[in-house]
Each structure stands twice: as structure tokens, then as C-alpha cells.
């Protein structure tokens, strides 16, 4: 049993492996940590739904090295991201920026929730209103009493 | 009010239906990455020649002040589609008078030399980009990629992947003609 658990743990090891190779890492742990955070927000342009921090593609490695190089030169996080963005466009950002072209992307979910609340709420309200007792109009009142009277007359005979 | 709510499913169906119709278009390539370089000045770079090759190196200054727009092709000997594309590009150079410059991307010089000796060398100049840094400047996502650069240094067109097959060649030819990269009278 113990061996089985051990084998299972060994089997999990590959999933913990990182794409970042030791020779890429910076000696300064603070800078390295910043590089890791930046890399997680940058899309690998080859394997398009992966961030460059976890991608083994050649371009991703080059971009990781570039990110670290810019950090060593003294760029701020935003400057590094801007540097990459200038070359690869908004597409390289995993979090799309908030700008007129992306308003639909950012606000559509909120809009849909609001529409849902509005429509759903409206339907519930109207249904509740139907349940409430409503006065019959005088015309309907007359028709109903007419029918009732006829029925009574029929019963009597 | 009730009529308005009753119409909502229809409106929603039209919106989603239109979206799906757009998504189902077989000509749409969801992997296509929009390029930021189009209509932008070509990036600055200065690459040494491939050692062992007589073709001179390539810098941004070689792309500007030409008579006509020129073509920059990023290639590598290890890239299999480049081999197929090589024949197409050579034909454009020889038959249509296209001017072709090359960036040899992350390639061992001896491999590149052998590759060009085997297949022929249609490139006027070739810069060796060993580090891949110039590739990043061009927003490269892989090889091959082909750019048309105007004589003022503006990038006019980008083709990702090999220019191989009738559709690709047709698109590329159109772009060349539109850019005026082919001399008058050449081609059909």
C-alpha cells in the first residue's frame, strides 16, 4: 500500500514541473518573482491559450528571457508588459485591457445579468398581479348573474 | 411592455444566430493573430550575414529607399514548410521580378549554407538571427512568415505560415500587386 502511494506521488511529479528552466532564472529572487508574475499574464503566441510562464515553445522561452532582461535593465512591470505589447499587440495580454474595442467583452456579462433580472423580475411581478383578486366589469357581472339565475331556474324544474 | 418582453427571445436568437453564423464561416481562421505591424514602420534591426555565405547581412536600412516595395521572408533550414515555400518564393523572384530579403531564424550557419546550396538562394540579403531577438521585434510567432515592406519602411502585409498552395499564392500575389512590389509588365 505504501509503495502504491509512493508510485502515485512519483507519477504526479511531472505535473509540478515548470517550463522555466534553471538557466533562465535570475539570481535576484525579487526580480525573478516579478518576472514570474509578468510571465503569467503574457500569452504564448505559438500555443495560444497558454501563458509564457508554463509554455515550452521556443518563442515563449525567448519572451521569458526578454522579460527578465528588461527587468534587470530597470523597467517597471508595466513597462515590460508595454514593451512586449508594442511588438505583439493586445493579443499577447491574457487579461484584455479595458478600452472601447473591448467594452462588449467586459460589460456584456453584466448587461446579460441585468437583462435577466429585469425580464425575470417583470415576469414574476405580472404573474403575482394575475393571482390578485380582480373586480369583474359590470358587464361581466351581469352575464354571470344571468347564467346563475338560469341554472337555478333549471334546477327548480 | 408585454409585447416587448415577448420579442426578446427573437432578438436574442438573431444575435446568437448571427454570432454562430460568423463562427461557422469556413474561411475564418480562429488561430489567426492580428498583427500590430501592419501600416506601422518596420522594426529597427541590424543582422550580420550568415557565416560561410557570400550574401550580405540585413538591416532595416536595406528595406527602405528601394524603388519598389520589397519582401522580407523569415526562414530556417529546420523548418519543413520553408522548404516547400522556397520554390514558390524563388519563382516569384525569377519570373515576376520580386525583390526578396531573408532573415535566417535561429539556424545553425552550416545548416543554412547547406540548405541554400541545395535549393538555391533567391535572397538578395540574408541576416542571421541566432538569438531570435529580431524575430520578436517583428512580432514573429513562428517560421515561415513573410512581410511586404514599402519603400518608406512601412509594413504593408504579413503572411503567417508558408505561401504554398493556390489560395495562399493567390492572396500573396494580390498583396504584391496591391503594394506595387512587382515591376510593371511582369507576371500575367
Q: Is A47 on the interface with B (CB under 8 A)?
A: no
CB distance A42 to A79 below 8 Å: no
Q: Is A89 on the interface with B (CB under 8 A)?
A: yes
pLDDT at A156 over 70: no
Q: Does a structural domain hold residue B4?
A: no
Same domain, A89 and A118: no
Count of domains observed in chain B: 1
Same domain, A112 and A93: no
Task: Spell out which chain B residues touch chain A, with contact meaning CB-CB distance below 8 angstroms.
Answer: 1-2, 5, 8, 31, 33-36, 43, 106, 131-133, 135-142
CATH assignment at residue A24 = 1.10.8.640
Across the interface, do B36 and A58 touch by the CB < 8 Å criterion? no
Q: Does a structural domain hold residue A1?
A: no
At residue A128, the pLDDT reads 76
Query: Which among B108, B88, B106 has a CA at the least distance from the CA of B98?
Result: B88
Q: Is A19 on the interface with B (CB under 8 A)?
A: no
Q: Which domain holds residue A82?
A: 11-97
Contacts of B53 (CB under 8 A, 6+ apart): B109, B112, B113, B116, B121, B126
Same domain, A87 and A117: no
Q: How far apart are CA B148 and CA B163, in angstroms?
A: 13
Reported as a single tens digit per residue, the pLDDT across A33-61 is: 999 999 999 998 888 788 999 888 888 99
Across the interface, do A119 and B135 touch by the CB < 8 Å criterion? no
Q: Is A122 on the interface with B (CB under 8 A)?
A: yes
Which residue, A67, A97, A127, sits at the end of a domain? Answer: A97
Average pLDDT over residues B77-93: 95
Q: How far apart are CA B149 and CA A29, in angstroms?
A: 42
Same domain, A61 and A115: no
Which residue, A72, A97, A122, sits at the end of a domain? Answer: A97
Q: Does a structural domain hold residue A55?
A: yes
Same domain, A47 and A87: yes
Q: Does a structural domain hold residue A5?
A: no
Q: Regarding predicted confidence, which is higher, A78 or A136?
A: A78
Which residue, A75, A97, A119, sits at the end of a domain? Answer: A97
Q: Which domain holds residue B122?
A: 35-179
How large is the angle between the packed helices A58-73 and A29-40, nearest 10 degrees? 130
Q: Does a structural domain hold residue B7?
A: no
Q: Does a structural domain hold residue A37?
A: yes
- Tell me the chain A residues in contact with residue B33 when contact means C-beta distances shorter than 8 Å: 45, 48, 88-89, 91
Q: Is A101 on the interface with B (CB under 8 A)?
A: no
Peptide bond into B144 cis (omega under 30): yes
The 3-state secondary structure of chain B reads: CHHHHHHHHHHHHHHHHHHHHHHHCCCCCCCCCCCCCCCCECCCCEECCCCCCCCCCEEHHHCCCCCCCEEEEEECCCCHHHHHHHHHHHHHHHHHCCCEEEEEECCCHHHHHHHHHHHCCCCCEEEEECCCHHHHHCCCCCCCEEEEECCCCEEEEEEECCCCCHHHHHHHHHHHHHHCCCCCCCCC
Reported as a single tens digit per residue, the pLDDT across B9-54 is: 899 899 999 999 998 888 787 777 777 888 999 999 999 999 999 9
Amino acid at each position: 500500500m505504501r509503495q502504491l502511494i509512493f508510485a502515485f506521488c512519483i507519477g504526479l511529479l511531472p505535473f509540478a514541473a515548470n517550463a522555466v528552466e534553471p538557466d533562465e532564472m535570475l539570481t535576484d529572487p525579487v526580480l525573478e518573482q516579478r518576472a514570474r508574475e509578468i510571465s503569467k499574464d503574457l500569452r504564448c503566441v505559438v500555443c495560444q491559450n497558454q501563458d509564457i510562464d508554463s509554455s515550452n515553445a521556443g518563442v515563449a522561452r525567448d519572451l521569458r528571457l526578454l522579460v527578465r532582461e528588461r527587468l534587470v535593465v530597470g523597467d517597471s512591470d508595466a513597462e515590460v508588459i508595454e514593451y512586449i505589447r508594442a511588438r505583439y499587440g493586445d493579443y499577447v495580454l491574457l487579461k484584455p485591457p479595458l478600452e472601447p474595442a473591448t467594452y462588449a467583452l467586459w460589460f456584456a456579462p453584466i448587461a446579460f445579468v441585468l437583462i435577466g433580472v429585469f425580464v425575470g423580475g417583470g415576469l414574476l411581478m405580472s404573474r403575482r398581479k394575475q393571482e390578485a383578486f380582480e373586480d369583474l366589469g359590470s358587464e361581466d357581472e351581469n352575464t354571470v348573474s344571468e347564467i346563475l339565475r338560469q341554472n337555478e331556474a333549471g334546477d327548480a324544474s | 411592455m408585454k409585447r416587448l418582453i415577448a420579442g426578446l427571445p427573437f432578438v436574442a436568437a438573431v444575435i446568437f444566430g448571427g454570432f454562430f453564423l460568423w463562427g461557422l464561416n469556413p474561411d475564418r481562421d480562429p488561430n489567426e493573430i492580428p498583427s500590430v505591424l501592419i501600416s506601422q514602420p518596420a522594426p529597427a534591426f541590424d543582422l550580420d550575414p550568415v557565416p560561410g555565405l557570400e550574401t550580405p547581412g540585413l538591416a532595416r536600412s536595406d528595406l527602405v529607399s528601394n524603388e519598389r516595395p520589397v519582401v522580407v521572408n523569415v526562414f530556417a533550414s529546420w523548418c519543413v514548410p520553408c522548404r516547400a515555400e522556397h520554390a514558390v518564393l524563388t519563382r516569384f523572384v525569377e519570373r515576376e521580378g520580386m525583390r526578396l530579403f531573408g532573415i535566417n531564424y535561429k539556424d545553425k550557419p552550416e545548416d543554412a549554407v547547406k540548405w541554400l546550396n541545395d535549393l538555391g538562394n533567391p535572397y538578395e540579403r540574408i541576416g542571421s538571427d541566432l538569438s531570435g531577438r529580431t524575430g520578436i521585434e517583428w512580432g514573429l510567432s513562428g517560421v515561415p512568415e513573410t512581410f511586404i515592406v514599402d519603400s518608406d519602411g512601412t509594413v504593408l502585409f504579413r503572411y503567417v505560415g508558408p505561401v504554398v498552395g493556390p489560395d495562399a499564392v493567390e492572396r500573396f500575389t494580390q498583396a504584391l500587386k496591391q503594394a506595387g512590389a512587382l515591376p510593371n509588365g511582369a507576371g500575367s
